[in-house]
Amino acid sequence: AGIRVLMITGDARDTAVAIARDVNIFPPPVVDANGYIVEEEDGTEIKAYEGREFFVKPESEQLELLKSGNMVFCRAEPSDKQKLVRMLQSLGEIPAMTGDGVNDAPALQQ
């Protein structure tokens, strides 16, 4: 169906990745006997970026990353959310978004 999921949250990276795994945005990891992550179950790269770390990349790299698979953006500011929606639209995608706070309004209006 061509549907991808991007989670954009103000939460910390560890929290965001844990939630993404719980809702199957990311596959569960393969864990060794000591509880350490050995590898991702299907070899999928976990793409989780803090807003500030993503937006310092060159714009061409940002756009390439946005084209690839499911992603999580954490520690995102309201302006980051709005920027990501605009970037997805510039790629010809039709983003659908939900939000639970006033800080989500600018991105929802896109």
As a whole number of Å, the end-to-end CA separation of the chain is 23
- Given a cut of 70, is residue 108 above it in pLDDT? no
CATH no., domain 6-91: 3.40.50.1000
Give the tens place of pLDDT for each residue, 64-96: 999 888 889 999 988 898 899 899 999 998 888
State pLDDT tens for residues 42-54: 555 678 899 889 9
Those residues with Cβ within 8 angstroms of residue 94's Cβ, 6 or more apart along the chain or in another chain: none
Could you tell me which of 83, 9, 22 has the C-alpha nearest to residue 50?
9
Extents of the domains making up the chain: 6-91
**Residue 46, pLDDT score:** 74
pLDDT of residue 55: 92
Spell out the residues 6+ positions from residue 28 whose beta carbon is closer than 8 angstroms to its own. Answer: 21, 41
